[in-house]
């Protein structure tokens, strides 16, 4: 692996140790790190200093757009293009528009959620260096890990490795 993509993996013994390590890394100058556990750890987002996701806004905007397009399309079709009086109802009878409007809003929301998750998570990433580690295979069963990624411009691996040992990491591996 080139010097531009180096990584340190540190194993911790419990979720509490992982949470403590995440808080210390958040408070240090290390920015490109991630925490891995076999189950969700309550409060980990706050411990890592992560911001709230923008995905909800994207999905909400897509739903609003779908709702608006469906209403305008049905209004145009029934009021402007083909104005027919059916059973004495007015041309713009919104009650009949609700199923199509709901369906289009849900459809566009689902597409926005899928595409938004792919973009925000930088997917697809076909191979990640962490999957080359034998130690990391425990992350899906009983392992708690912190990974720190480096590039050429920043980071001191020796200092960070010493810091991880001080935080209680039992195994540290460099990839």
Give pLDDT, residue 152. 63
Give pLDDT, residue 93. 85
- List residues bridging with 35 in a β-sheet: 146
Give pLDDT, residue 92. 86
Query: Helix, strand, coil shares of the chain as percentages rounded to 5?
Result: 55, 15, 35
3 touches 130 (CB < 8 A): no
Q: How many CA atoms lie within 13 A of 129 on its CB side?
A: 16
Give pLDDT, residue 155. 65
Q: Domain segments of the chain: what residues?
A: 6-51+128-174, 55-120
- Residues 27, 28, 33, 36: is their CA dihedral positive or negative? negative
Give pLDDT, residue 2. 45
Per-residue b or e along 153-162, where b marks 16 or more CB atoms closer than 10 Å to that residue's CB: eebeeeebbe
Low-confidence residues of the chain: pLDDT under 70 = 1-5, 152-155
Q: How many CA atoms lie within 13 A of 128 on its CB side?
A: 15
Residue 39 in 3-state DSSP? Answer: coil
Counting Cβ atoms within 10 Å, is residue 136 exposed (0-12), middle (13-18) or buried (19+)? Answer: buried
Q: How far apart are CA 103 and CA 110, in angstroms?
A: 11
Q: If you count them, how many residues does the chain have? A: 175
Q: How far apart are CA 9 and CA 160, in angstroms?
A: 11
pTM of the complete model: 0.73
Helix/strand/coil (H/E/C) assignment for every residue in 130-148: HHHCCHHHHHHCCCEEEEE
Give pLDDT, residue 85. 85
Q: How far apart are CA 153 and CA 135, in angstroms?
A: 27
Element containing residue 9 per DSSP (H, E): strand 6-12
């Amino acid at each position: 692996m080139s010097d531009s993509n180096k990584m340190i993996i540190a194993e911790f013994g419990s979720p509490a140790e992982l949470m403590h390590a995440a808080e210390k890394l958040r408070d240090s100058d290390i920015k490109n790190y991630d925490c891995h556990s076999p189950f969700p750890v309550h409060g980990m987002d706050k411990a890592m200093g992560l911001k709230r996701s923008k995905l909800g806004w994207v999905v909400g905007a897509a739903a609003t757009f779908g709702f608006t397009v469906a209403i305008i399309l049905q209004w145009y079709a029934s009021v402007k293009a083909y104005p027919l009086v059916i059973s004495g109802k007015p041309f713009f009878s919104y009650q009949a528009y609700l199923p199509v409007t709901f369906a289009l809003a849900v459809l566009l929301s689902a597409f926005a959620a899928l595409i938004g998750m792919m973009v925000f998570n930088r997917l697809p990433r076909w191979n990640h260096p962490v999957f080359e580690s034998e130690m990391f295979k425990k992350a899906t069963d009983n392992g708690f890990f912190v990974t720190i990624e480096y590039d050429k411009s920043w980071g001191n691996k020796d200092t960070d490795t010493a810091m991880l040992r001080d935080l209680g990491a039992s195994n540290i591996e460099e990839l």
